[in-house]
Amino acid sequence: MNILVTGGAGFIGSAVCRLLVQNPENKVINIDKLTYAGNLQSLKSIENFRNYKHYCVDICDEQKILSILKDENIDKIMHLAAESHVDRSIDGPAAFVETNVVGTFRMLSAALTYWRELPTDKKVDFRFHHISTDEVFGDLPFNEGIFTETTPYAPSSPYSASKAASDHFVRAWHETYGLPVVLSNCSNNYGPFHFPEKLIPLVILNALHEIELPIYGQGNNVRDWLFVEDHAKALELVVTQGFIGESYNIGGREERTNLSVVETICDILDMKRPRASGKNYRELITFVTDRPGHDRRYAIDAAKIEADLGWKPTVTFEQGLEKTIDWYLDNEWWWRPIREKTYTGERLGQA
């Protein structure tokens, strides 16, 4: 397959690129304009692969995207490029509308023009896979309920509203124009190469620097956690085997409160990198004022993708968290330049 991955220098996108290039029959084309969260260092292990190429292009540049689709003879599009941090969306929602809504519209327009010109056999096999989030569904009570593919949309933040809008545009392009699309909505990802403003890497790195570990409210908000490499494998299945027009929820079935996530990180670090003072890392936990519209709980029902495509997560939260912490301990070369040059430490990284 010739696969176009948008946002391939981001956290999930880079995991997808690293996975797909392992098959020498794939050609992976990464489109990423390299904003603050895009980092080609996350692709260092594959940058010299003959079946990998990066274009520094904005997804809003429809004509350039169309040109790349034609030049690279693309079979599948995996659209991951997005602004994705809730706190940033509260401070500056315009960028989220531009990238997540307008950018998706431009991608769809380019894809439709390209698809219409394909020969019949290529047209049948073409897919536009839109990767989204469980946050479009709003939130759940603490003690009941779970998101399914038919859960009504009820976004709470500018970020989730922009992703909900992009989901609707993708479905509209399928229903109105016949573009062969598949969609997926995932729970909270974590793992290596995660940008340091997000909860898990923020807590790991703050702890290593022995500074406060900020938690919104009382830390009672619940998230379902999914190891990024498991997610990448699910996305490969969706784009290759998913049924046209269908959406698939992808989750880890690993619900945890934010407080329990932070405490677990502290406990693992107590074993792997004890503080010189002999104190435990939990003493660095600080509760701060909750953010506006903070969703209570997310929980994904992944039964559909499990039944239809045979996918299941292979990494438990405890296994994945230990792998993630080990990676950050061993790869200071990746995170230190980000921490020192582009990350101010002001954002709290709650998801």
DSSP structure string for 38-53 = --GGGGTTTTT-TTEE
Cα 120 from Cα 117, distance rounded (Å): 9
Asked if residue 200 lies in contact with residue 236, where contact means CB atoms within 8 angstroms, the answer is no
pLDDT (average), residues 112-139: 97
Amino acid 141: pLDDT: 94
Q: Could you give the angle at the alpha carbon of 201 between the alpha carbons of 100 and 288, nearest 5°?
A: 85
192: left (phi over 0), alpha (psi -120 to 50) or beta: beta
Strand 255-257 and strand 222-227: the pairing is: antiparallel
Mean of the pLDDT values across residues 61-71? 98
d(CA 222, CA 134): 13
Lowest mean pLDDT among 21-25, 204-208, 338-342: 338-342
The dihedral built from the CA positions of residue 169, 170, 174 and 178, taken in this order, carries a sign that is positive
CB-CB contact of 296 with 139 (8 Å): yes
Strand-pairing partners, residue 77, are 4, 128
Is 135 one of the annotated active-site residues of the chain?
Answer: yes
Q: Is 284 in a helix, a strand, or coil?
A: helix
pLDDT at 87: 84
- Would you call 177 a catalytic residue per the annotation? no
Average pLDDT over residues 242-267: 98
348 pLDDT higher than 50: no
Any idea which of 84-98, 140-154, 186-200 has the lowest mean pLDDT?
84-98
Task: Retrieve residue 37's tokens.
Answer: 């969260």
Q: Which CATH architecture has domain 2-191+224-255+296-316?
A: 3-Layer(aba) Sandwich (3.40)
Residue 79 backbone zone (phi > 0: left; psi -120 to 50: alpha; other: beta): beta
Tell me the average pLDDT across 276-294. 93
- Catalytic position from the list 159, 281, 298, 328: 159
Catalytic residue among 32, 75, 83, 134: 134
Spot the catalytic one: 32, 62, 75, 135: 135
Q: How far is the C-alpha of 298 from the C-alpha of 295, rounded, in Å?
A: 8
**pLDDT higher than 70, residue 6:** yes
* 248 is an active site residue: no
